[in-house]
Structure 1
Amino acid sequence: MKIILSVQPIRFPMTGIGRYTLELARHLADIDDIEDLKFFGDEQFVDGLPTPGNSQSRPASVITRIKHRLARNPVLLDIYRKRVHKRRGRALSGKDDYLYHGPNFYLPPFPGRSVVTIHDLSVFTMPEHHPAERVMFIRKEVEFALKQATMLITDAEYTRHEVAKYFGWPIEKVRAAALAGGAEFYPRDAETTAPVLARYDLTPGGYGLYTGTIEPRKNLVRLLDAYGRMPLALRKRFPLVLAGYKGWNNEETMARINKAEKEGWARYLGFVPNDDLPILFAGARLFAFPSLYEGFGLPVLEAMASGIPVVTSTSSTLPEVAGDAAATCAPEDVEALAGLLERGLDDEAWRSQAIEKGFAQAAKFSWQRCAQETAAIYRSALAQ
């Protein structure tokens, strides 16, 4: 097989889709029947994978701001999209003996077979949880990709069936290739984590943790409500630490976090560098991730691989990712969530069982497996 993989999503600081693209690129190189693997950047082929300092790796925040600014004006958006598509199509002409993979919802004009990864449908099914310009941009790009694609890839079986039904695609032309946690997520003792955690004024085993964007889809207001229902002494002993970028429509959530900080039972760290994130996971007492909707839910696996008990929701893909290793409840059930959080922080017998089950669940997923499943999808697309 001859494959072209878009590496445009690999931006720094790394996003979840950037991590997926990077790991896929690394592991596809080990697939025996891929005879040629080329990487395509913004508008041209690149010799290697982007790194934090090289020229083809503009920061993710810059790319996002450009797209969102253009998306506020439909006319400018269409002009931008057409110009970019034209340049990309010109660079890819004559490569119809290759298969092109767009790992981030999008496909350029391409003369050969192509596949695209649709990570989730939230801009279609939950547009109220995104800025209007993001919804407009992604919808237009996905609509174009669907006209181009030979097959679709999703991160989970739940999303596979959701995508097939929503877009009216035959289920056999939509395949799932599960993601995985990185090798950098593993248990660490207090002696190892303490120096890094001290920079954040945290102690090993002394906090509950949430990581991810601060935005409505993550259900953080209910998480704060649930944490606030626990005994004050328990909350102060294990404050809730939230780490991640401030996303869209976060005013209510940030106000609630600020109030909890003043009361002494919450901390907001903002963005945490990639090197520190595995330490933050390994040093936590509990990981809480009660999201309303996920295309996969990678932080759940990262926490489990780090030896941390997990409390998550029963929505979308999360039961598929968590298996029976996490404590789960409906994302809207604040009372049940509070009970699970309290048990996760205070019940040593449950914690021990959850940690062992978490290791077993996380071990079921690997980037090697993701690459192998993706390569199998390539073979099916090339056979059509």
Structure 2
Amino acid sequence: MDIILSTDAIRQPLTGIGRYTSQLARQLVQHREIDEIWFSHGGTLLRRIPEARQRPAAVNWLRDGFSKYSPLLNAYRKIHSFGKAGSIRHLKNALYHGTNYYLPKFAGRSIVTIHDISVFTLPDCHREDRVNFLRKEMALALERATGVITVSEFSKREIIAQFNWPAERIYVTPLAGAGIFHPQPDTELTPLLRSSQLLPGSYCLSVGTIEPRKNLGALLDAYACLPLRLRRLFPLVLSGHSGWNSRALLDRIQRAAREGWLRYLGFVPDSHLPALFAGARLFVFPSFYEGFGLPVLEAMSSGVPVICANAASLPEVAGNAAAMFAPHDTNQLASLIAMGLENEEWRSAATANGLRQAAQFSWEKCTEQTLLAYAAALSA
């Protein structure tokens, strides 16, 4: 097969979609079924996987500032689409894979990964300009696509219901934790965590962008219900860059930090994440909605007990290995956190079950299922 892989999502800060794209790219370049592979990055066609680089601050400022104006946003869409379409025009015998909701105009076959459709089902959890932009791009991608890839059965059902897309042309390719996430002894973790002023087994961790969809308000409410002794003994540690509509959450986070039971690390580089996960006493993921929920697998792979919401795709990912709660039930969440911090019998069982559950997922499996989707699209 000849493949063109979109790699625009490989940039800092690396999101779940960026991790997916990066891991898939690494697997495809060494796979025997791939004859030629190109990487579509912006309006450039590369022969090597691009590095995850930070956007210049001025670019982010301009993007956020002008995103409120629909004519400017539409002009950006057209310019971006024109440049990308031009760079791949001569490769019409290859299959184009858009890994992040988007497909450019292309004469050859194409397949698009739609991770979730929350801009349709939960529009209030996104900026209005992002909702408008993604709705247009997703509708256009589905018109152009030969097939659709998604990352969970939950998302497949939602795509079918929302777009009446044929089920036989939707391919589910579950994600996996990277090999860098694994249990580590305290002797190795102690120096690695020193820069964050943390000790192994001394904190409860939650990772994700600070935004309403992640349901961090419920987590803060639940943690505040715990005895102050327990909160200070095992403070809540949050990692993730501040996202849309986060001001009120950040104010609450700062108050909790002043009270001595919360640490906010902001964005943590990829190189520091394995130690941060493996050093946690407990991992909590309260999100309302996830197309997959990769941090749950990363925590389980790290040998850390997991508590997560029983919402969207998370039950598929966590299986029976995590303690689950209804996303709005802060009392239930508080009770589970207390158990997760203090009940050694449950902690031991959750760790063992989590390692077994995480072992069922791998990037090799994800890649094999992706190649089946490619083959079906090329033969359609």
| Fold in common (TM above 0.5) | yes
> Which of 131, 139, 152 is the aligned partner of 2:148?
152
Aligned twin of 2:319: 323
Aligned twin of 1:262: 258
Q: CA separation of 1:90/1:17 partners in 2, compared to 1, >3 Å: closer, same or farther?
A: same
The alpha carbon displacement at 1:32 in A equals 2.5
The one-letter code matched in structure 2 to 1:3 is I
Q: Is the 8 A contact 1:68 1:134 kept in 2?
A: no
The one-letter code matched in structure 2 to 1:5 is L
Q: Secondary structure at the match of 1:345?
A: helix
Whether 1:367 and 2:370 are equivalent positions in the alignment is: no
Q: Is the 8 A contact 1:13 1:60 kept in 2?
A: no
Q: Deviations over 1:8-56 (max 9, x none)?
A: 211123222111111101111233322221211111211211125xxxx
Distance 1:290 1:236 in 2: 21
Distance 1:186 1:136 in 2: 39
Whether 1:114 and 2:110 are equivalent positions in the alignment is: yes
Whether 1:358 and 2:354 are equivalent positions in the alignment is: yes
The alpha carbon displacement at 1:223 in A equals 0.4
> Which of 116, 121, 126 is the aligned partner of 1:125?
121
How do 1:192-231 residues align onto structure 2 when only pairs under 5 Å count?
A: 192-231=188-227
Q: CA separation of 1:100/1:64 partners in 2, compared to 1, >3 Å: closer, same or farther?
A: farther
The alpha carbon displacement at 1:120 in A equals 1.1
Aligned twin of 1:34: 34
Aligned twin of 2:180: 184
Distance 2:160 2:64 in 1: 28
The alpha carbon displacement at 1:65 in A equals 4.8
Q: Deviations over 1:174-204 (max 9, x none)?
A: 1110111111111111111111222222111
Distance 2:338 2:57 in 1: 36
Distance 2:170 2:65 in 1: 32
Q: Deviations over 1:140-199 (max 9, x none)?
A: 211221111111111111101111211110111111101111111111111111112222
Whether 1:142 and 2:156 are equivalent positions in the alignment is: no
Q: Secondary structure at the match of 1:48?
A: coil
Q: Deviations over 1:97-155 (max 9, x none)?
A: 11100001111100011001011111111111111121122222112211111111111
Q: Is the 8 A contact 1:4 1:99 kept in 2?
A: yes
Aligned twin of 2:343: 347
Q: Is the 8 A contact 1:94 1:111 kept in 2?
A: no
Whether 1:378 and 2:374 are equivalent positions in the alignment is: yes
Distance 1:310 1:189 in 2: 19
Distance 1:66 1:195 in 2: 40
Distance 1:270 1:85 in 2: 33
Q: CA separation of 1:61/1:290 partners in 2, compared to 1, >3 Å: closer, same or farther?
A: farther
The one-letter code matched in structure 2 to 1:45 is L
Distance 2:85 2:257 in 1: 51
Q: Deviations over 1:207-248 (max 9, x none)?
A: 000011011001111101111111221111101010110111
Whether 1:14 and 2:14 are equivalent positions in the alignment is: yes
Distance 1:68 1:133 in 2: 10
Q: How many residues align?
A: 380
Provide structure 1 residue ranges, at least 5 long, that are not aligned to the other structure: none
Q: Is the 8 A contact 1:159 1:295 kept in 2?
A: yes
Q: CA separation of 1:107/1:61 partners in 2, compared to 1, >3 Å: closer, same or farther?
A: farther
Distance 1:251 1:370 in 2: 37
Q: Is the 8 A contact 1:71 1:136 kept in 2?
A: no
Q: CA separation of 1:122/1:209 partners in 2, compared to 1, >3 Å: closer, same or farther?
A: same
How do 1:163-312 residues align onto structure 2 when only pairs under 5 Å count?
A: 163-312=159-308
The one-letter code matched in structure 1 to 2:250 is M
Q: Is the 8 A contact 1:109 1:148 kept in 2?
A: yes
Q: CA separation of 1:377/1:101 partners in 2, compared to 1, >3 Å: closer, same or farther?
A: same
The alpha carbon displacement at 1:7 in A equals 1.4
RMSD between aligned residues: 1.5
What is the TM-score normalised by the length of structure 1? 0.95
Provide structure 2 residue ranges, at least 5 long, that are not aligned to the other structure: none
The alpha carbon displacement at 1:267 in A equals 1.1
What is the TM-score normalised by the length of structure 2? 0.96
Distance 1:199 1:86 in 2: 45
